Amino acid sequence: MRAGLAVCLLTLVTAWAFGVPSDVPVIPTPAHDPAIIREGDWYYLFTTGPGITIQRSRDLVSWSVVGSVFRTPPDWTYRDVPRFDGTVWAPDISFVHGRYLLYYAVSSFGSNQSCIGLATNATLDPHGRLYHWEDEGKVIGSLPWKDDWNAIDPNLAGDDEDHFFLVFGSFWDGIKMAAIDPDTGKLLKDPPDLISLARRPSVAADPIEAPFIFRHADMYFLFVSFDYCCRGIRSDYKIAVGRSSRLTGPYVDRDGKPMTEGGGTIVLQSYDDVHGPGHNAALHDGDTDWLVHHMYDGTRGGMAVLQVRPIAWSDDGWPVAGPPLLAPRAIQ
């Protein structure tokens, strides 16, 4: 048994050191609400957790924890969201105007008394001289007695004209968008003029959340998650998408149905021991586009783990989720 383990470890080390693909499976890393970006030879993964967990990898399969954004959540989060329990939700990472912008959400389960905050850094290398996360405070918030939307699940999206928008939303009246000043990372106008991007007609029965906008071939694709997460193997979360020629929409699905009227083409849903795949991000990486999401692993009692899949594109320009990466791959 020890000899077999040694052979497996040697195979993995060889694959990592020389960039040779290996058939040795790697246990998927725990993750919920993943966001991903590449800096140099490293992929960095940010996930929901008490201080936002940071992991990194060279091959998108073998991940190691390298720290967290916060040692403790900023003081303002407890003041603005009294029921906040310290778990920071749904980070989003972008590189804009020479610095990294990390948006995050604070809320409590089932409430729309929520806020989206911003933290910034000059580098993601935890050993870099300039490495330091600076909290920039609240960007936008929602209140139960005032708003029919929920300020969680942020995603920053931009176009070629340097226009940036924060996309967000969960349940309630669906997915919204607000203009952002890229120099500050804060709202361009406060209070903002909200744009509605997607909703489902029956909020209670047909949940929608976790927006992510990805550009491909001069089209913008709005990924969202339908139905329910966070129930282990009983989760029926699924990833849906619509597209638009304009960043601000309108977005329609493959059948032409507007996402503001409940439209959305399913990209990935439960199968075999993959339960409730959802809350995805996407990454353009050289010649490959990656779909990054969590799922509830039926082989591990419903644990939330990371999956990374290549995106293929159909002849008519729609995303198709490929099989998940399960073993180290050659570093490109």
Exactly one of 80, 92, 153, 209 is catalytic; name it: 209
194-213 residue pLDDT tens: 999 999 986 456 799 999 99
Catalytic status, residue 134: no
Q: If you compute the radius of gyration of the chain from its CA atoms, what whole number of angstroms results?
A: 19
What's phi and psi for 270, nearest 5 deg? -60, 145
Distance of alpha carbon 99 from alpha carbon 71, whole angstroms: 21
Mean pLDDT of 212-218: 97
Q: Is the pLDDT reported for residue 22 higher than 50? A: no
pLDDT of residue 201: 82
User: Residue 26's pLDDT band (boundaries 50, 70, 90)?
Assistant: confident
Q: Reply yes or no on whether the pLDDT at 15 is more than 90.
A: no
Would you place residue 327 in the very low, low, confident or very high pLDDT band (cuts 50, 70, 90)?
low
pLDDT at 329 > cutoff 70: no
Identify the band that residue 11 occupies on the pLDDT scale cut at 50, 70 and 90.
very low
Encode pLDDT of 47-67 as tens digits.
999 999 999 999 999 999 999
Give me the pLDDT at residue 328, please: 58
Q: Which pLDDT value is given to residue 24?
A: 60
pLDDT of residue 7: 31
In angstroms, how far is CA 331 from the centroid of its own chain? 23
What lies within 8 Å, CB to CB, of 204 at 6+ separation is none
Confidence (pLDDT) at 17: 33
Q: Is the dihedral of CA 228, 93, 51, 274 positive or negative?
A: positive
**222-238 pLDDT, tens per residue?**
999 999 999 999 999 99
Specify the amino acid at residue 186. K
Among all chains, which residue has been given the structure tokens 């996360």? 133
**Mean predicted confidence (pLDDT) in 159-179:** 96
User: What distance in Å separates the CA atoms of residue 285 and residue 310, rounded to the nearest whole number?
Assistant: 10
With a pLDDT cut of 90, the percent of the chain lying above it is 87
Between residues 20 and 273, which one has the greater pLDDT?
273
Domains detected in the chain: 27-321 (2.115.10.20)
- The answer to whether residue 33 is catalytic is yes
Q: Which two tokens stand for residue 329?
A: 């791959």
What mean pLDDT comes out for the span 19-33?
72
Residue 23 has pLDDT above 60, yes or no: no
